[in-house]
Copies of this chain bind each other. A is one copy, B any other.
């Protein structure tokens, strides 16, 4: 059975996922596209033989759509996801699930009322081989109980439109989700310390930032977010436990020895780093939808937590204080296993 996917939002990431669903993932077909820019929708749809629909509501309602992919502008996510839940259709929503914790909660309530999981949020790191190795090592007890995690998230550069708040909202949000999953633990407080900013970029931007998280179990995380590090796209993660540590591998790269130096390439384009993770994410999602199973990826609750924790981190950046994330208790509906 082919899963017929309707795509809401045909910007860069939407087009990328349309390509993925068409060329990379088997068992899926993009049958409908909508976008606030009708021309962009038409171009994207034409490329894969899909129809263009006037808006998200029409797309969710369409008989030609089995499952919905939301890749539109963040502030519109909640509405589309709620529509999909109302229609009882599986929906994959790129992060954020919604731009406010309140909207996220509304989604979780709607989904719980529906009684069956429909929503998956697009945190692709859980599908990365390296992170999966980390989780296996931790879950197998090989490092003992985790105590500390050191992370870094570095981009070569960002455009001038990137703001200091986006370090949490757009960048650290990936670590926030993957840490909660890796540790099977919740983040209860957040703090941001700010080194002097790099002189290489914009005066308005606090970059790098060091974020400090504390979990319910007492694990401490430090996360360096440095989005104008110049040298490359570099994701680091090291979890230290009572008996050992485990470290995320760097991508495999040929070693070259020339002119007094042994060197390996560091990625400079982030799309290369998580391409396989995106492919796996969508392959698993489509397979689950095709099999009529509830999604096993990041849930609406994970989407809520990410939004709430990033919002608290923005507050911490502005206040210079430790900020409690003050997450609601997780409803039993979102328990796993």
Contact = CB atoms under 8 A, between A and B. Distances in A.
A268 B260 contact: yes
Most chain B CB inside 10 Å of its own CB: which residue of A145, A199, A234, A264: A264
Given A226-B148, A226-B240, A232 B220 contact: no
Copy count, this protein chain: 4
A231 B259 contact: yes
Contacts of A291: none
Given A195-B218, A212-B193, A240 B224 contact: yes
A111 B145 CA distance: 50
A255 interface: yes
Interface in A251-301: 251-268, 276
A261 B263 contact: yes
B255 A261 contact: no
A70 to B, nearest CB: 23
Interface residues of A, number: 72
Given A195-B147, A196-B147, A263-B263, A230 B254 contact: no
Given A130-B252, A256-B142, A210 B231 contact: no
Most chain B CB inside 10 Å of its own CB: which residue of A25, A144, A148: A148
A136 to B, nearest CB: 8
A259 B247 contact: no
A246 B250 contact: no
A150 interface: yes
A242 interface: yes
A198 B195 CA distance: 30
A173 to B, nearest CB: 20
Contacts of A214: 193
Q: Which 6 A-B pairs have the closest CB atoms?
A: A196-B218, A244-B258, A263-B263, A133-B254, A249-B252, A195-B220
18 contacts: A130-B254, A143-B256, A145-B198, A147-B196, A147-B198, A193-B220, A195-B220, A210-B220, A230-B242, A231-B259, A231-B260, A232-B260, A244-B257, A246-B255, A248-B254, A250-B252, A261-B264, A276-B276
